[in-house]
């Protein structure tokens, strides 16, 4: 995390942000590490596991411990090797997804008053093109946040057809999990907002609208612009 726990007030109380990072996020990472360790597997990029986790073939014995920094062998649908065990796939989806989601979430924010307060560069142009205006994008995002039932995440997503879309996912699902999200909401995350109660109830009660209103003030538009630039260049 690139800022102090108190740096995102009043959107997040310092104690709430500390607990979120040191307890919730850390727990997800521990759970994922433990499950991979039990299977004698190491991964260089958790993100690489998410898109087709059910179809990943278990690496051969020699390849089961890949050096850190190298991506996991994405061996989709290998005819002779078994897929990963179901309990591990479940942990990858929940804890791995949670780890990736929170990592994007922390990067989607910066202290209020530091940096741009609106989308800029190519991202601003794309938002205007796909939503009509930044104001409409914010309205669509708010409607999605308020309509979402239960725990989950709200996203600005860059789809494979090169358009932007607002979506929400349940629990710890990520838009890159193409087997678990509707096709029209699948893609690469540009911004993430945590809709789990542990993220906002301590600071805002159950008022998601107030949470979102204060979140806009700490959105890291530089990060979003970079994410868009990378996603749209590949
Ligand atoms: Fe969270």
* The pLDDT of residue 1: 85
Going from the Cα of 194 to the center of ligand 1, the distance in angstroms, rounded, reads 6
Q: Which residue has the tokens 């494979």?
A: 160
CB 211 within 8 A of CB 11: yes
Q: Which residue has the tokens 């307060």?
A: 117
195 pLDDT higher than 90: yes
Domain ranges of the chain: 14-107, 121-233
Going from the Cα of 98 to the center of ligand 1, the distance in angstroms, rounded, reads 7
CB 165 within 8 A of CB 203: no
155 pLDDT higher than 60: yes
Taking alpha carbons only, the member of 194, 150, 221, 210 closest to residue 19 is: 194
Contacts of 58 (CB under 8 A, 6+ apart): 39, 64, 81, 82, 83, 84
- Residue 122's pLDDT band (cuts 50, 70, 90): very high
Which stretches of the chain are assigned E, i.e. beta strand?
152-158, 164-170, 188-194
* The pLDDT of residue 66: 39
35 pLDDT higher than 80: yes
Mean pLDDT, rounded, for 172-196: 95
Rounded to whole angstroms, what are the CA distances from 114 to 109, 110, 217?
A: 10, 7, 10
* The pLDDT of residue 43: 85
For 202-234, what is each residue's pLDDT tens digit? 999 999 999 999 999 999 999 999 999 999 997
- Residue 93's pLDDT band (cuts 50, 70, 90): very high
Alpha carbon distance 209, 191 (integer Å): 17
For 50-84, what is each residue's pLDDT tens digit? 988 888 877 765 555 433 344 444 445 555 567 88
Mean pLDDT for the chain overall: 90
Mean pLDDT, rounded, for 101-122: 94
Q: In what order do the strands lie in the sheet with 164-170?
A: 164-170, 152-158, 188-194
The percentage of residues in the chain with a pLDDT greater than 70, rounded to a whole number, is 91
Going from the Cα of 63 to the center of ligand 1, the distance in angstroms, rounded, reads 33
Return the CATH number of the domain spanning residue range 121-233: 3.55.40.20
Going from the Cα of 87 to the center of ligand 1, the distance in angstroms, rounded, reads 22
Burial 184-220 (b: 16+ CB within 10 A, else e): ebbbbbbbbbbbbeebbeebbeeebeebbebbeebbb
| pTM score | 0.90
Alpha carbon distance 169, 149 (integer Å): 10
Going from the Cα of 124 to the center of ligand 1, the distance in angstroms, rounded, reads 27
Going from the Cα of 99 to the center of ligand 1, the distance in angstroms, rounded, reads 9
- Residue 45's pLDDT band (cuts 50, 70, 90): confident
Going from the Cα of 102 to the center of ligand 1, the distance in angstroms, rounded, reads 6
* The pLDDT of residue 81: 64
* The pLDDT of residue 58: 76
99 pLDDT higher than 50: yes
* The pLDDT of residue 72: 44
**Of how many residues is the chain composed?**
234
CB 54 within 8 A of CB 83: yes
* The pLDDT of residue 74: 45
* The pLDDT of residue 71: 43
- Residue 158's pLDDT band (cuts 50, 70, 90): very high
Going from the Cα of 111 to the center of ligand 1, the distance in angstroms, rounded, reads 18
């Amino acid at each position: 995390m690139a800022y102090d726990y108190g740096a995102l007030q009043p959107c997040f109380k310092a104690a709430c942000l500390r607990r979120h990072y040191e307890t919730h996020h850390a727990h997800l990472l521990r759970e994922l590490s433990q499950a991979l360790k039990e299977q004698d597997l190491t991964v260089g990029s958790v993100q690489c596991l998410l898109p087709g986790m059910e179809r990943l073939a278990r690496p051969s014995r020699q390849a089961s411990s890949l050096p850190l920094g190298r991506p996991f062998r994405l061996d989709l649908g290998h005819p002779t090797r078994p897929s990963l065990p179901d309990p591990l796939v479940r942990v990858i989806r929940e804890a791995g997804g949670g780890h990736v989601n929170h990592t994007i979430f922390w990067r989607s924010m910066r202290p209020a008053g530091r940096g741009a307060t609106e989308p800029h560069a190519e991202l601003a142009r794309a938002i205007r093109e796909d939503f009509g205006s930044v104001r409409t994008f914010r309205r669509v995002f708010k409607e999605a946040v308020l309509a979402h039932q239960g725990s989950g995440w709200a996203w600005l997503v860059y789809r494979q057809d090169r358009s932007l879309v607002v979506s929400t996912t349940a629990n710890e699902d990520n838009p890159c999990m193409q087997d678990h999200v509707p096709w029209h909401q699948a893609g690469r995350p540009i911004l993430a907002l945590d809709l789990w109660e542990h993220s906002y109830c301590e600071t805002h009660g159950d008022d998601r609208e107030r949470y979102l209103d204060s979140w806009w003030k700490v959105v890291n538009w530089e990060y979003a612009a970079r994410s868009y630039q990378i996603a749209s260049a590949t």
